Structure 1
Amino acid sequence: MQNSLTRKPIEIKISTVVAVALILNDANIATLENALKEMTGGTPDFFDDEFAIIDVENIAFESIDWIGLITLFKACGLNAVAVRNANEDQHAAIRAHGLSIDIVNKVKPELPTDLEISPASETLTSPVVPETVAPMPQAMPAALEHIPAMIVDTPVRAGQRIYARGCDLIITASVNNGAEVIADGSIHIYAPLRGRALAGARGNTNARIYTTSMEAELVSIAGIYQTFDAGFPKLTANHPVQIKLVGDSIEVSSIKSA
């Protein structure tokens, strides 16, 4: 055992925390409570003390009952920790309720100054360069960093949570009931999926989930999720399954060989 005299009173390490994004389109507490009950099917442990970020972009800030909102989410197993898309003059009021500010960088791409936009065709045209002037050479873009997939070779048991940050997640054993697997990229499970699988955790709508046996409690792509309390869709027997996002809906289908 490490000597307590040589141990630092506190240590700080980098930790990745995945939070549920709660996008408010209504401020009425009763309306939100009914909507949450409908989403979760009344299951009391649907959210298991998960962190939550409240997105207020689509709602009038003055209409929010913060105490009622935080209390409602807490009763549903969601711990509100931050607020997203609030104006700077609203930050003090948010912090007064013990919440942090989640900063979202919205960078608007700018066109190069030597390009012109044609209103009629909405295409980009470059100014004519005299033949006597050689164009400046373009710098080669830096190579993109490759992040290898996270590979898990053991069963993911109830209560376990695995998060593949910035990459795909590959699991060669079962994901049991009560387990949760998360990836910023796609999730590949070469065994039964019985727990929860959340792909595209940071908003990648092209992410997918693959499994050889679809028995999931919940699946999610880029924050859009689906549960299966009413049963699973009809799938071809003995075929692997892919789950993808089509518009704002989750599509579950069999992968059939040619």
Structure 2
Amino acid sequence: MKKNKNRAFLKWAGGKYGLIEEICQRLPEGNKLIEPFVGAGSVFLNTEYPQYVLNDINPDLINLYSIVKTQADYFIQESEKLFSPSNNQEKRFYELRKEFNQSDDLFFKSILFLYLNRHGYNGLCRYNLSGGFNVPFGRYKAPYFPKKELLYFAEKSQKATFTCEPFQHSFARARAGNVIYSDPPYAPISLTANFTQYSKNGFSLDEQLMLAKLANHNATKKSVSVLISNHDTPFTRDIYSQADITSLMVKRTISQKGDKRVKVGELLALYT
């Protein structure tokens, strides 16, 4: 990993920027890194693999990344226009959010996705049951336009293939010598903390179990090392019992009230 950390151009609840050092210390070398849940891409941006396969089940996210990869200059030119005081108003935010949800124009949706991400509340990416983006207005004084971060992502993404498919398909792509870093929607600490609506479909406990089984299968049968991040709970300890587990304490920043942003236990489970 480089000494200077590279930030993602998206704000992202559960992003891994703060854990980069710990993750990179445990990621094995390989000829390709596969990320079934790429999110904001902090691990991709701070590692040096020859190739990447970056997947997410969210088509809006993958559409955005594909456009930044192939049309970076035009994307930056057009998306920066939305970062103005007149667009940083509650009424305007909800107008543009409605346009995003109704549009079929992939380029237009990509620039609106960045706008909504930077102007919406707390870096959340959330959809209702109908698939409509429904994050509320963030009320930030002057949302930051991440030009430098976009340019770096565009350059680095020339090594990447973007896919939008179930995580099981990403695991099926892996071949000997590849490495998988898996950052799924986290298992709930408690039943009332089950925040998994990154896409319009949630992530069930059965899918958590399937992920653990696929990680073990890839490591033991295909010579593919797998590193998984998750909450440190009795449930995750049980399903990752065949992995080498490292415990971490991480400061959570998704709570609305600052005094409730307490440290929680996370783990890294390495299958080799």
Return the TM-score normalized by structure 2. Answer: 0.25
Flag the structure with more relative contact order, 1 or 2, with Cα contacts below 8 A and sequence separation at least 6: 2
Which structure has the highest helix share of the two? 2
Structure in which a larger fraction of residues adopt strand: 1
Larger Rg: 1
What TM-score results when the alignment is normalised by the length of structure 1?
0.26
